[in-house]
Amino acid sequence: MPRRKRTEGTRAPNGASSIYLGRDGKWHGRVTMGALDNGKPDRRHVERKTEAEVIAAVRELERQRDAGTASKPGSRAWTVETWLTHWVENVAAPSVRETTLAGYRVAVYKHLIPGLGAHRLRRLEPEHLEKLYAKMADAGAKPGTAHQVHRTAKTAFGVAVDRGHLTKNPAKLAKPPRVDEDEIIPLTAAEAKRVLAAARGRRNGARFVIALALGLRRGEALGLKWSRLDLDAGLLRTPRQLQRYKWKHGCADPHRCGERLHRVTPCPLKCTRHATCPPVCQPDCVRHASSCPTRHGGGLREVDVKSKAGRRTVGIPRPLLELLRKHKATQDRERGFAGTEWHDGGWVFTQPNGRPIDPRADHDEWKTLLAEANVRDARLHDARHTAATMLLVLKVPLPAIMEVMGWGDASVAKRYVHVPTEVVAGIADQVENFLWSDTPPAPPPTSTAQPDTASLIDQLQRLLDAAKTPGDGPDDEEPPGWRAVI
């Protein structure tokens, strides 16, 4: 529809859009979108071949301006590469943990920038991301890797939307590949008891008893200090944790520094040296920073726990208290034997010289303990699932379970609390008595060693209902204070 002609001798009001035919034979439109940072009008320009096309473009800019969805001035200069680089180095780096930042950088510099970096930020579409995920799958990347890249893109482009550089987040509309979640089977009561029995005879065996009884995360257990244990009151606090960080090169040429460690040929097909064969190094490999003479930034560090909800106080069962007292007496003897070689950091679980335990050594010790106890292979983190399921069997209320486990959101409980086989068998017995029994079922005894199935099902239903609704607040919300759950 052609635009309406203005009366001869009149002028458009200030801020009105203008459309005109230029000397170049093209139609031009100019729209006032607001004000620049210096106070001058933000006047946007569009150029089209026909008058109808430029009218449509002008109307679209006016619609975005009136709806408050117009991009900020200067946002057209952003490419995907420049924005992602700015976001990961200047927005994310000062505000997230180093381990989180390392994952962001891998997703940005290894996948997103090589695959999408040349696109204009405002012209990025969900289909571009989906094609990137397909290319990653064709190159042999696992679906979990594509999901990590997808989550990073959604976070980075979400910040661009908040700042007005994008009107919509393309990663929210893109569909990442499906990830098949591994089935998690917590240890049964019999398996857990065999692990506890085997742990009593091992050095630092109390560490794994704590994992099964209290559900502490690996970093929380390894980061325990005697100053945070009150053996008289039977309380344990977890304000800090121990984590391993990767070393960084301090030299001028990281590639040459690690040249002697570069892996140039893959392992043979029937490799017996590695459980999982390491990949071949890239031609410009800058890894192997642990061997750099001027390495920095790595090693074991004591940091804050995962979330503020993780800063908690829990009660210690009496058998575990006795085990910890014996462990402390053994450690005191080791300290006296080591003499000046002992590094006194106050750690509860240490190496023979007093230094904290490396997470990799802790993992190997767990696997050895499972084999000694004749228990099926399981992740160390499955001990945390076992502890959460145990609290369900004991009919502990959901808010108390969240406090003991250090969760800030009830939806997390849905991933950790599992229905034990004893409950499943109890349901089958109840169905049998209801459908196939000629006599009415006898009332349950007042005292029984088996958990009350009906009560557990009710607790599960309330747990699932809580998981469907948002929690009281995110994990970084300040907790109400130290509370002992006994």
Residues carrying an active site annotation: 217, 248, 381, 384, 407, 416
Task: Compute the distance between CA of residue 104 and CA of residue 312 in angstroms, rounded to an integer.
Answer: 29
- In order of 30, 65, 188, 344, 407, the CA distances from 41 in angstroms are 11, 13, 70, 65, 50
Q: What are phi and psi of 99, to 5 degrees?
A: -65, -40
Residues 134, 136, 138, CA angle at the centre, nearest 5°? 70
- From the number of C-beta atoms within 10 Å of its C-beta (0-12, 13-18, 19+), residue 222 rates as buried
Which residues fall within 8 angstroms of residue 58, CB to CB, at 6 or more apart?
17, 19, 29, 31, 46
Instruction: Name residues whose C-beta falls within 8 Å of residue 189's C-beta, 6 or more positions apart in sequence.
Output: 420, 422
In angstroms, rounded to a whole number, what is the distance separating the alpha carbons of residues 152 and 161? 14
CA 185/CA 379 separation, integer angstroms: 10
Written as one string, the DSSP assignment of 267-299 is PPTT--S-SSPPPPPPTT----GGG-TT-BS-E
Report the 10 Å Cβ neighbour count for 312: 24
CB neighbour burial string for 117-145, b if at least 16 within 10 angstroms, e if fewer: beeebbebeeeebbebbeebeeeebebeb
